[in-house]
Chains A and B, each alone.
Chain A
Amino acid sequence: MERRRLHLVLTLALIAVLFLALWWANTHLGEFPLRVARTGAIYVVAAVAYNLVNGITGQFSLGPNGFMALGGYTTALLVLPLQQKQFVWFLEPLMWPFNSFSFPGYLFGLAVLLGGVMGALGALLVGIPSFRLRGDYLAIATFGFGEIIFVLANNLIPLTNGPLGMKGIPEYANVYWCFGAAIVATLVVSNIANSSYGRAMKAIRDDEIAAEAMGVNVFRTKMLAFVTSGFFGGVAGGLLVSLITTISPTLFTFGMTFNLLIIIVLGGLGSITGSVITGFGFALMSELLRVVEAPINIGPIHIPGVPGMRMVVFSVLLILLMIFYRRGLFGQFELSWDWVLSVLRVTRGVRECKRERKTESS
């Protein structure tokens, strides 16, 4: 159809412009803003995927930290150089086969992809029993899953090096990888949300019994959303460990899920646009709000720095939002080409109208 082709061209053009901007930023901006931007892009990958389950399908999952951990450990084990592996595992040796190979830099994409596959497998494993039951079992099962992964990461020393984790992971996750993943995740999830599968997911969110009576295979549809979400969670985990170059069990505690929950609720449950914008916003605010954790002197009053103060600010923000703006910043609004084009058309119409009035009066 004509309209679809126009949208495709516009999307491709936007991606091209974005990558030009990234190229410029990569050469002109300093390390710090680039780092914030990359973190934001990784949050977007994880949040958009999380929103597919919690916002679009309406199933309350608390498990993205578990999927991110699976992806993070997978990617880290694959790309950590052999020499570094010998250096890191000094208590117990690293198990076969990971002690015999290491992916070179050009296979980083594959390593991240395999991290995603591990995340998807994890989601499959949790989803099958929890979606067999109706009700809120998912929240408990996924929360438990995250805790199990945490315990395993702490104790499977031949595989994870326990609480010490790994360091010296090569920093392959540059802006292109991070933003590339964010673009793919956003496009794929919004394609799904707007497809027949997405309609089935939203139908389940609105009324599960009616959806089933209209022929929607509820179990299968929930699983599709959940496994997709697990895949992108794994991808985000893989990118994140390469960005910060270390991994340890504490990186993927429930706090990670809580951050993502803030992002999707602030952005609006079910709004992909909202998740993208608040994903970047959250990364930026996390850095800017470091101010509140530093010691502050206001005249004679001295406030000592309190680590973790940022989370208090986020929590207060979340509470205020729930009171005054219950549906999040974007509700279920989606930025689409149809919307942009209609806005452009309206503003042009207004301008022409004004011009006509001016010529009439003169």
Chain B
Amino acid sequence: MQARTENGVVLTLDHVTIKFGGLVAVNDFSLDIRKGELVGLIGPNGAGKTTVFNIVTGQYTPTSGRVIFEGRDITGWRPDLIAAAGIARTFQNVRLFTGLTVLDNVLVSQHLRLKSSFLSAAFQLSDYVKEDEDGRARGMDLLERVGLASLAKEQAGSLPYGQQRRLEIARALATNPRLLLLDEPAAGMNPEETTQLMKFICRIRDEFGLTIFLIEHDMRLVMGICERIRVIDYGVSIAEGTPQEIQSNPRVIAAYLGEEGD
């Protein structure tokens, strides 16, 4: 297992603000995530949770503020470069490559580390063939570890929903990330599946030495596995703490249930 240093901050969001026209979607958001942590981000619908993810992974460039990953300022980097730097994500609505097989979905994530040139792939030169075979072996190995190996040749779009969610996580793992962002991994799952997913998330964190940052509405999951929870509402951080602290925080309760006497 990876050693968890006391002060090894992996990701820093430094006073991040993003505006879309007149709308301030995320306002002055700061957060430190340390190596090996499992941090949850919660908040009512439209609070700006996914926007925070999109800023970290480069889909959006913040209006002001900085994103620092492992000491490097990655603000405004292209998403593919951020993925190569070691941050992978899943999406709120599953976004698999539905026309590709399960194995190919995972292999796409290895493309960023491909060394062989385009021409050696076009003419099937030996360096490409060797690299491709190694990649396939690694892909199968990963599918084995997440329990999808028997479905390797199936079309990703034909899998049942729960398996698609699992494949999306596997695909993110195939980029060899050190930080994994999960956007509502339990959405649409029944309690039984959610329990399995919780075990799965904890397992991959230990096995792959990951730091995990997740958005979730399923409170059982968030309270069950997150060590630290951040709550945002209307783009502003309103609370942070352990699951117990969050559950009893009056501002959080107000954000979710509305102010008393409102």
Chain A interface residues toward B at CB < 8 A: 1, 4, 188, 191-192, 195-200, 202-203, 205-207, 209-218, 224, 228, 332
Enumerate chain A residues within 8 angstroms of B128, measured Cβ to Cβ.
195
Are B108 and A211 within 8 A (Cβ)?
yes
Closest chain A residue to B112, Cβ basis: A215
| B78 CB contacts on chain A under 8 angstroms | 212, 217
Q: Mark B86-111, 1 if CB is under 8 A from A, else 0.
A: 00110100011111100010011111
Chain A nearest Cβ from B251, distance in angstroms: 33
CA distance A102 to B133 in the complex (A): 47
Among B97, B100, B114, B171, chain A packs the most CB atoms within 10 A around the CB of B97
A196 to B109, CA, bound (A): 10
Report yes or no: B98 in contact with A199, Cβ–Cβ below 8 A. no
A353 and B89 CA atoms in complex are apart in Å by 51
Q: In the complex, what's the smallest C-beta–C-beta distance from B10 to chain A, in angstroms?
A: 18
Taking the complex as formed, is B27 at the interface, i.e. its CB lies under 8 A from any CB of chain A? no
With A205-B99, A210-B97, A213-B59 as contacts: A188 and B122 at CB distance below 8 Å: yes
| Nearest-Cβ distance from residue B180 to partner chain A, whole angstroms | 12
- Give CA–CA (A215, B78) in the complex, Å: 9
Chain A contacts for B99, CB-based, 8 A: 202, 205-206, 332
Q: How many A-B residue pairs have CB under 8 A?
A: 104
Q: How far is the CB of B259 from chain A (nearest CB, A)?
A: 37
Given contacts A1-B133, A188-B123, A192-B121, contact A215 B97 (CB under 8 A): no
**Is A214 a contact of B109 with CB atoms below 8 Å?**
yes
Set of chain A residues within 8 Å of B59, measured between Cβ atoms:
209, 213
Which residue of the partner chain A has the closest CB to B113? A215
B95 engages A209 (CB within 8 Å): yes
Q: Report the separation of the CA atoms of residues A203 and B174 in the bound assembly, to the nearest whole angstrom.
A: 15
| Contact pick for B95, options A195, A197, A200, A207, CB 8 Å | A207
A123 to chain B, nearest CB (A): 14
A-binding residues in B (CB < 8 A): 57, 59, 78-80, 83-84, 88-89, 91, 95-100, 104, 107-112, 114, 116, 118, 121-124, 128-129, 131-133, 135, 171-172, 174-175
> Which residues does chain A contribute within 8 Å of B83, judged by CB atoms?
212-215
A/B interface sample: 11 pairs, CB < 8 A: A196-B135, A200-B108, A200-B111, A202-B97, A207-B96, A210-B95, A210-B96, A211-B97, A214-B88, A214-B171, A215-B112
Residues in A whose Cβ lies below 8 Å from that of B98: 206-207
Find chain A residues with CB under 8 A from B110 CB.
Answer: 196
Q: Whole-angstrom distance between the alpha carbons of A207 and B157 in the complex? A: 12
A224 to B95 alpha-carbon distance, docked (Å) = 24
CB distance from A331 to the nearest CB of B (A): 10
Given contacts A196-B135, A207-B95, A210-B97, 14 further A-B contacts (CB under 8 A): A1-B133, A192-B121, A192-B122, A196-B114, A196-B121, A197-B121, A200-B111, A206-B96, A206-B98, A214-B83, A214-B111, A215-B112, A215-B175, A216-B108
Name, among A210, A217, A224, the residue most crowded by chain B CB atoms within 10 Å (CB to CB): A210
Q: How far is the CB of A101 from chain B (nearest CB, A)?
A: 30
Given contacts A195-B132, A196-B135, A210-B91, contact A215 B121 (CB under 8 A): no
A224-B97 CB under 8 A given contacts A211-B108, A215-B111: no
Q: Are A212 and B121 in contact (CB under 8 A)?
A: no
- Would A191 and B123 count as touching, CB distance under 8 A? yes
In contact, A199 and B84 (Cβ under 8 angstroms): no
Cα distance A102–B138 in the bound complex, in angstroms: 54
Residues of B within 8 A of A197 (CB): 111, 114, 118, 121-122
A4, A195, A214, A224: residue with the most chain B Cβ atoms closer than 10 Å = A214
Q: Considering the complex, give the chain B residue whose CB is closest to the CB of A202.
A: B100
Q: What separation, in Å, do the CA atoms of A214 and B100 have in the docked complex?
A: 15
